[in-house]
Homo-oligomer: A and B are copies of this chain.
């Protein structure tokens, strides 16, 4: 697994939208400024996320994006997989990989499988509600220290 900029941006964007869940939609421009993501790049990312059903949009004057489901119903893993592809550390765990012939007797494949599973166990379990709570807590702590 490798988290690209696109993936990183997508996650940060969804977390931001999670923070506005239930309120008015948020404009790309606001997200772009707040999260420091190139506007035109973010446009594309949001379109992808919309097509996948993670977010929904509203056009026109008071338009913008909002989360399509409750933050508790979106996991980190879903988003990562959608944007950055399968979790496995090598293609042979997920699909064809021309370096692998003896798939049956290969001792490495088993390891890569274990690695994939242990990653999944982490990211498929944490939702954006969890992350939201942690953010709030982090900010509170931060304010207290000042």
A interface, CB within 8 angstroms of B: 1-3, 5, 8-9, 11-12, 15, 36, 76, 89-90, 99-101, 104-105, 107-108, 110-112, 114-115, 118-119, 121-123, 126, 131, 134-135, 138-139, 142
Contact = CB atoms under 8 A, between A and B. Distances in A.
List the number of copies, as a whole number.
2
A36 to B, nearest CB: 7
A90 B123 contact: no
Chain A interface SS verdict (over half)? helix
B90 A111 contact: no
A85 to B, nearest CB: 10
Given A1-B2, A1-B115, A110-B134, 8 more contacts: A3-B112, A9-B99, A12-B108, A105-B135, A107-B131, A111-B123, A115-B119, A115-B122
Nearest to A142: B105
A92 to B, nearest CB: 8
A108 B11 contact: yes
Contacts of A99: 5, 8-9
B101 A36 contact: yes
